[in-house]
Structure 1
Amino acid sequence: MVIARPAVQAMPAYRPGRNPADLARELGIDRAVKLASNEVPFPPLPAVLEALAATAGETHRYPDNGAVVLTAALAERYGVDPAQVVPGGGAVLLCQQLAQSFNDPGTAIAFAWRSFEMYPLLAQVAGARSLRVPLVPSSPGGSPDTHDLDGLAAVVDDDTRLVFVCNPNNPTGTAVRRPELERFLDRVPETVLVVLDEAYREFVTDPDVPDGVELMRGRPNVAVLRTMSKAWGLAGLRVGYLLAEDPAVADAVRRTHVPFSLATLAQAAAVAALRSEEEVRGRVAAVVAERDRLTAALRGRGLEVPDSQANFVWLPLGEATAAVAAALEGRGVITRPFAGEGLRVTVGTPEEDDLFLAALDEVTSGASGTTGDDVRTGAPVG
């Protein structure tokens, strides 16, 4: 009998958000709303559709393994050398490449928790230890929702090879500011690679939250990870990229690249999207405005909602989380629960968000045994 590695057998399966069409059929309703995966609510950019149509006739050939055109476009956009750029089939794949490139079994990866759920799984597959540092409240008396950078620096030991700082943090949406982040980077040993995971950077409006690319410059042990799945609307095509101050870091990650994993269509779409930056900025502005409206509406209902710098909001519901998420789903609204902790809700269109708010009002009115006080305090439900 063939047996997988114990670390792999122990891994929980990744659970994507439910398909809204399936839920609608199950509930017998015309439409369900998915606010679970942090996608933007806009169709593909016109330039992207044109690039896909123009490139479709080339899909009988392997893609450019080096993604030369995309690499050059990214290098020009960020003012770096192409040798510092590593495109990949989504930011998650690049996270995996980072672990493969720098972690031997027995070494360690440090990160805040809760943060991006793939970090501990990457460590598990690599045979590395997970150094998890609990979040702290971003406001006095609030729920834990932001990085404890002093605590993160303190856990880094001689075996640590990677530190992930998700900024803004997924799933809480909070972001650490320049002074704290600069102090943290100055404390981390130069032998440890700090990866600033900025999947939601385009949605940041707080001027005190620094651009990781700026902080990277002059720091050879810092790299920046970004994605085109969110603001750029390419979630279905899987395009991410890494920028490294030290070209040797980029070279190491490039060596663990799965050949031809960045598809021809994905490369063409990414280049076209980069050329549509002004249109993307307009879409981001609309998401940010709706984020502010949704946050105000939730706070007006007496709910604790931290300031989000991403395209989602976080409701720290504690033990009520799973029940609230299930009740919302029963009303055709799919959100992302983190059992015992909180609910992550993607910013959708105004119509979608109004449907969510209406469903939430039904849930908190006690229609399913849940009271408004239960939700506001995170008390167990049912």
Structure 2
Amino acid sequence: MTTTGFAAVDRLLDLDDRVSPEDRAWEQKAVRLTADLIRPHIEDDFEAAHFRAEILPAFAEAGLLGMHLNAPGCAGAGPISYGLVCAAIEAGDSGWRTFVSVQGSLAMTAIDRFGSEHQRQTLLPEMAAGRMLGCFALTEPAGGSDPGAMTTTAVRDGDEWVLNGAKRWIGLATIADIAIVWARTDDGVRGFVVPTDTQGFTATPITQKHAMRASIQCEIDLVDVRLPTDAVLERSRGLSAPLSCLNEARFGISWGVMGIARECLAIGIDYALERQSFGSALAGKQLVQARLAEMMVGYQNGMLTALHIADRKAAGVLQPAQISIAKLNNVRTAIAIAQSTRELLAGDGVTGLHPVMRHMANLEAVRTYEGTDDIHALTIGRALTGVSAF
């Protein structure tokens, strides 16, 4: 594939005055990492349902793990920098952006916001350096979009906490060193740092997935898991704590899926210029140009939405409903652009010659996690009306 399509998209969007040199430098780190380590193997990895764990240190070496946190060992990069990194990685594969998100936006953010100073100082530098991997265990088998129905419990027993319960769809759990487990206590929902080698902690990979095949999602069983008193995230109280971490992940998703949208649109442009049909290039057909124009309009709307929430985040005034708007809109937009590109590519669109069908499959999972369409619609509706319909 040539780079004509990417150049055309970027020229028409013209974001140079909205993106700083520092932002671009971060983006280029992620672009190079994705080109060198993800793209050459991703089709085979997706087919084989293989997670290429040996490349994890490269993410740490590039400074991408927890890069947006102003915390020990972390770079403290701005929201646009982090967003562009998410987009560059997700253009390679959603599973790898999910890895960055689980480590940085979920596990590390939980420790940074709600952990003790000792936890922050000892755990975060190790996680930023990739020497320690984390996972974020909130979702339960019967809970899904309703974390308020949580049944996992943590009970005090002398100088220990005892955890029992189950979690599902937990990224990285089989390779993580620690799990941030959310459990119901007498004081409400609280988070716990659980070493994954603790007796009673079992993580099992979920198999036979038709999306996110090159990444790891798991079930977790917690049976009389005993932890010391200081394992609790001391500043965590109530569901607002884990939900605030989810909003960090949703921010990254809103940017990441725009990487897929740009990738698919560029593929469509290149294909239309190269493919001959009825004696001339597809790019000269009115219906094809109309299709590409619609895709470009969707991509621009999504990118401008992503930039807006990044500005709000940098100013410290980003509202949860604004994140829901971005996640709902941008994932839908990316799905529509990927689907339109698949149609343009015809039969080749369902093969590994192009990444489009793989992106479509992954986007169906992205659409579901960190809040389904319905959940975000209800969040937006509540913000508009002041009435909760949950």
Could you say which TM-score interval applies, normalised by the shorter chain?
under 0.3
What's the TM-score once normalised by structure 2's chain length? 0.24
Q: TM-score, normalised by structure 1?
A: 0.24
Name whichever structure is richer in helix by fraction.
2
